[in-house]
Amino acid sequence: LKMGEVLDWYERAIVADPTHVDARYNMGKVLQELGRTAEAAESYKKVLEVEGTHAEATLNLGNLNFEAGLYEPARVWFTKVADLPHASRNTKEMALNNLGNLYRTVDLHDMAEVAFARAWEVSG
């Protein structure tokens, strides 16, 4: 399938069921891959409107903000993922590593160390 066809499929699924979290999340991933970051962010935010603690959508919002140089919103999203009790170990580890990289980027090396240490602890 071409990306346009995939997007059409997800759009049809969302029209049929506006609360279809997987379709919205996967649509966000495809839009992100296509570089349509604003649309991807909207798709992830709509996921969170339906399922407010969706760890992967939250992580991806952090990633989009980080890549755009929006460090404070990225920090908030990464921290939310790290604090979600049901988030998978892998998702929490990625959020904490990304948080460490964010702190390193803005020269907050002590905080980066803490985030990387937490990621190490989570990784088991």
The per-residue pLDDT for range 45-98, each reduced to its tens digit, is 999 999 999 999 999 999 999 999 999 999 999 999 999 999 999 999 999 999
Q: Which two tokens stand for residue 73?
A: 């919103």
Residue labelled with tokens 């919205």: 24
Confidence (pTM): 0.93
Give percent of the chain with pLDDT exceeding 90.
95
Residue 11 CB partners (closer than 8 Å, separation 6+):
27
Q: Are 82 and 99 in contact (CB under 8 A)?
A: yes
pLDDT at 118: 97
Nearest to 3 by CA among 39, 22, 37, 29: 29
Average confidence (pLDDT) over 4-26: 94
pLDDT-based confidence at residue 1 (cuts at 50, 70, 90): low
pLDDT-based confidence at residue 124 (cuts at 50, 70, 90): confident
